[in-house]
């Protein structure tokens, strides 16, 4: 899944943020605990919520994982299953119940009755099959590519109008979770028939969700209206029936300072992606700051073993790991809203193993390892070996708003160990055109509230983060996804992490987090498991 927190207008944003901070000489303020708003009495129906997003909207295919788009689509399309973001458990949604065959290859789902799409068509086994088939196999004529998440999907059989039998070619412990992701939202037949371009239109998204598209141009604004006949929310939701809000207005506001100012002056209700520097500004005017860990991988530097660089030496990689002070990254570049990285998975992700033993800041160890590897301190403090300087280029990654601040802190930390870091700050298209197997460090993370996300990242047949086939790692990754015993699977995930961190293939930096700014009267704000705002339970007091 793609994480795209585009830093729109970054240098200017920083300057503007500073300008506004200077101007708004506010003092004092209320503290707000992260997650779930305070008690404000009985929920009220009605009202329009204004949601500001820094990133403009791109194509509306359901599989588009862009943050801005998915914050909308998760409210439009219900899924077969719902993953409880607090417990990580998979609960029934459009699938009322299911059974799994002993070999874990056949799933029989009973489809909930009485569910309709917003165009009036009915949810039945046939349309569910069509949805899953199109994900798994794509459709060449329509320009639809197969979906990586459905890699071992063999097919679906319609047993009766309310029952489907899904067959996999290989067991997949994360399959029920795949069905819970917003990008697997079940859509009406009319969407499935459209070609890739037409699927990209906002109005094509006909789902069975609590909200429907009511307007907007689909690039800088979107208007959703409540469906009054909605009555099929997951059981664990705080209420049933229609949603509280009658309307949601999404607007692209690329300037952070404009968005924060609008929030402070009560013109916006929710602002996504509040910068660490702005959190205090929001709180000082009585607003709420709510942070949600984007479950999945921690934001980390992934090291390409194919790149011709000193990092081919495991001791150098381990030294970099030891020279990285994650607590300081959090203190200087981020805020308490972000978790300090203690694993290759973000806290809250199911079956996350503790990896802090590998991630201790130990400058003495870093120096020792580098000395042993033959890297001696040169006259300017930077280590050299046979005339080669220990020097790396780090990219300021355009997807992450906080990337610049984080890599700057890293630059200063590594310098203390005698490692030179040059920073490069490319535009998005420049970045996407440049990165590849010769890029030593790629900052990234995939978010999915399922430890199998590690397979997507590290398996040599999938994203192949090291650009090198590591058979042992592949085996470990394949083992965990075929393991259905929870305790054994937890151990398998730990084995994967042990391999990745022992070999220092990744340098975790921080827990990927989404920070929202809320007006004081926004109640019951929540997100689905990967921090996309789910507005069904939200209301305005």
Partner 1 sequence: MARYVLKRLAHTVLVLWAAYTLAFILLTALPGNAISNLINNPQNQLTPEDGKLLKAFYGLDHPVVVQYVRALDALLHGNLGYSLSSGAKVADLLGDALPGTLRLTALGFVFGAVIAAGVGVVGSYARWNWLRTLLQSFPALAASVPSFVIGILILYYFSFQLHLIPAVDDGTFLALVGPAVTLGIMVSAPLSQVFSASIAATRRQPFVHVLQARGAGERYIFGRGVLRNSSLPVLTMLGLAVGELIAGSVVTEAVFARNGIGQITLNAVNTQDLPVVQGVVLVATTGYVLVNLVVDVVHPLIDPRIRADILAARPKKTKGSEKGAIPARLGPDEATSPRLPEEVATR
386: left (phi over 0), alpha (psi -120 to 50) or beta: left
Find the binder of partner 1 among 71, 83, 177, 264 (CB under 8 A): 264
Can you tell me which of 174, 353, 444, 508 binds partner 1, judged by CB under 8 A?
444
Burial class (CB in 10 A: 0-12, 13-18, 19+), 83: buried
Q: Is residue 265 at the binding interface for partner 1, with CB under 8 A as the rule? A: yes
Interaction of residue 137 with partner 1, rule CB under 8 A:
no
Nearest to 4, CA basis, from 463, 403, 516: 403
Binding residue for partner 1, selected from 25, 387, 429, 471, defined by CB under 8 A = 429
Q: Which span sits near partner 1 by CB under 8 A: 106-114, 140-148, 364-372, 388-396?
A: 140-148
- Which residue, 169 or 267, has its beta carbon nearer to partner 1? 267
Choice between 26 and 158, CB closer to partner 1: 26
Spatial separation of the C-alpha atoms in residues 500 and 39, rounded to whole Å: 43
Residue 83 in contact with partner 1, rule: CB under 8 A: no
Q: Return the residue of 306, 314, 332, 462 that touches partner 1, per CB under 8 A.
A: 462
Q: Do 348 and 295 touch, CB atoms closer than 8 A?
A: yes
**Which tokens go with 336?**
């308490």
Q: How far apart are CA 335 and CA 323, in angstroms?
A: 21
Alpha carbons 428 and 517: distance in angstroms, whole number: 26
Binding to partner 1, residues 346-385 (CB under 8 A): none
Per-residue 3-state assignment (H helix, E strand, C coil) for 203-240: HHCCECCCEEEEECCCCCEEEEEECCCCCCCCCCCCCC
Diameter of the chain measured on Cα atoms: 77
Instruction: Please answer whether residues 198 and 62 qualify as being in contact, where contact means their C-beta atoms are separated by less than 8 angstroms.
Output: no
- Residues 6 or more apart whose CB falls under 8 angstroms from that of 189 comprise 121, 127, 130
Residues 451, 349: contact at Cβ < 8 Å? yes
Q: In angstroms, rounded to a whole number, what is the distance separating the alpha carbons of residues 449 and 350?
A: 7
Tell me which residue has tokens 């809203």. Answer: 337
- Of 313-352, binders to partner 1 (CB under 8 A) are none
Q: What are phi and psi of 421, to 5 degrees?
A: -125, 125
- Does residue number 507 form part of the binding site for partner 1 (CB under 8 A)? no
Does 295 help bind partner 1 (rule: CB under 8 A)? no
**Smallest distance from the beta carbon of 98 to partner 1, in angstroms?**
26
Distance in Å, CB of 148 to partner 1, minimum: 5
- Least Å from the CB of residue 534 to partner 1: 22
Torsions phi, psi for 463 (to 5 deg): -65, -25
Q: Tokens 């590519």, residue?
A: 145
CB 154 within 8 A of CB 172: no
Contact code string over 393-422 relative to partner 1, x by CB under 8 A: ------x-----------------------
**Near partner 1 by CB under 8 A, which window of 287-295, 373-381, 460-468, 523-531?**
460-468
Binding status of residue 155 toward partner 1 by CB under 8 A: no
- 438 forms part of the interface with partner 1 (CB under 8 A): no
Q: By CB under 8 A, which span of 4-12, 152-160, 343-351, 495-503 interacts with partner 1? A: 4-12
Instruction: Report in angstroms how near the CB of residue 19 gets to partner 1 at its nearest.
Output: 6
Out of 416, 436, 482, 484, name the contact with partner 1 by CB under 8 A: 436
Distance in Å, CB of 201 to partner 1, minimum: 7
Whether residue 118 contacts residue 190, with contact meaning beta carbons closer than 8 Å, is answered with no
Could you tell me how many residues of this chain bind partner 1 (CB under 8 A)? 69
Give Cα 326 distance to the centre of its chain.
20
Q: Name the residue nearer to partner 1 (CB basis): 234 or 287.
A: 287
DSSP 278: G
Cβ distance 350 to 486 under 8 Å?
no
Smallest separation, CB 123 to partner 1 (Å): 26
Show the tokens assigned to 518. Answer: 């809320």
With contacts defined by CB under 8 A, name the span among 100-108, 158-166, 357-365, 424-432 that binds partner 1: 424-432
Rounded least distance, CB 380 to partner 1, Å:
33
Cβ distance to partner 1 smaller for residue 158 or 435: 435
Q: Using CB under 8 A, which residues numbered 39 to 58 contact partner 1?
A: 52, 56-58
Q: Which of residues 184-213 bind partner 1 (CB under 8 A)?
A: 196-201
| Residue window 228-257: x/- pattern of binding to partner 1, with contact defined by CB under 8 A | -----------------------xxxxx-x
Quickly count: other Cβ atoms within 10 Å of residue 321's Cβ. Answer: 23
**Shortest gap between Cβ of 446 and partner 1 (angstroms)?**
7
CA distances from 525 to 71, 474, 534 (A): 13, 39, 8
311 versus 465: smaller Cβ distance to partner 1: 465
Residues forming beta bridges with residue 293, ordered by sequence position: 513
Give the interface with partner 1 as residue ranges (CB under 8 A): 1-4, 6, 8-9, 12, 16, 19-20, 23-24, 52, 56-61, 65, 138, 140, 143, 145-146, 148, 196-201, 217-221, 251-255, 257-259, 261-262, 264-265, 267-268, 399, 427-430, 432-436, 442, 444, 446, 456, 462-463, 465
């Amino acid at each position: 899944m793609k994480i795209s927190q585009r830093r729109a207008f970054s240098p200017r944003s920083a300057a503007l943020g500073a300008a506004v901070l200077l101007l708004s000489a506010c003092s004092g303020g209320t503290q707000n605990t992260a997650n779930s708003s305070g008690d404000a009495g009985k929920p009220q129906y009605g009202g329009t919520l204004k949601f500001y997003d820094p990133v403009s909207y791109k194509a509306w295919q359901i599989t588009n994982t862009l943050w801005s788009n998915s914050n909308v689509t998760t409210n439009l399309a219900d899924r077969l299953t719902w993953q409880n973001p607090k417990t990580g458990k998979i609960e029934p949604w459009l699938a009322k119940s299911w059974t799994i065959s002993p070999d874990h290859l056949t799933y029989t789902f009973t489809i909930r009755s009485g569910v309709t799409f917003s165009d009036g068509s009915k949810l039945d086994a046939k349309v569910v099959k069509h949805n899953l088939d199109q994900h798994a196999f794509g459709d060449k004529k329509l320009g639809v590519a197969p979906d990586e998440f459905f890699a071992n999907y063999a097919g679906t059989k319609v047993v009766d109008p309310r029952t489907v039998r899904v067959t996999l070619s290989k067991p997949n412990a994360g399959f029920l979770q795949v069905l819970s992701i917003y990008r697997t939202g079940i859509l009406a037949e009319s969407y499935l028939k459209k070609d890739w371009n037409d699927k990209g239109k906002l109005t094509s998204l006909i789902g069975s969700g609590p909200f429907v598209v009511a307007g907007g141009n689909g690039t800088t604004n979107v208007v959703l209206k409540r469906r009054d006949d909605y009555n099929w929310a997951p059981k664990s939701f705080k209420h049933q029936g229609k949603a509280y809000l009658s309307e949601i207005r999404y607007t692209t506001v690329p300037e952070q300072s404009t968005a924060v100012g609008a929030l402070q002056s009560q013109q916006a209700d929710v602002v996504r992606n509040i910068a660490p520097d702005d959190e205090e500004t929001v709180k000082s005017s009585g607003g709420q700051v709510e942070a949600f860990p984007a479950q999945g991988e921690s934001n980390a530097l992934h090291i390409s073993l194919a790149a011709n660089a000193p990092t081919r030496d495991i001791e150098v990689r381990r030294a970099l790991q030891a020279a990285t002070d994650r607590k300081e990254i959090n203190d200087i570049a981020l805020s308490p809203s972000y978790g300090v990285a203690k694993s290759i998975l973000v806290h809250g992700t199911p079956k996350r193993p503790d990896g802090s033993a590998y991630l201790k800041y130990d400058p003495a160890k870093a120096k020792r390892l580098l000395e042993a590897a033959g890297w001696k301190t040169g006259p300017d403090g930077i280590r050299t070996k046979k005339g080669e300087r220990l020097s790396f280029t780090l990219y300021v990654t355009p997807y992450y708003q906080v990337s610049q601040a984080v890599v700057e802190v890293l630059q200063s930390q590594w310098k203390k160990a005698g490692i030179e870091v040059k920073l490069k700050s490319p535009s998005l298209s420049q970045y996407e055109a440049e990165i590849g197997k010769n890029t030593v460090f790629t900052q990234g993370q995939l978010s999915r509230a399922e430890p199998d996300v590690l397979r997507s990242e590290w398996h040599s047949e999938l994203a192949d983060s090291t650009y090198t086939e590591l058979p042992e790692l592949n085996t470990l990754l394949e083992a965990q996804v075929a393991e259905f015993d929870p305790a054994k699977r937890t151990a398998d995930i730990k084995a994967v992490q042990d391999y990745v961190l022992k070999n220092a293939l990744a340098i975790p930096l921080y827990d990927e987090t989404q920070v929202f700014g809320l007006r004081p009267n926004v109640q019951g704000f929540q997100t689905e498991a990967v921090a996309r705002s789910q507005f069904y339970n939200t209301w305005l007091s």
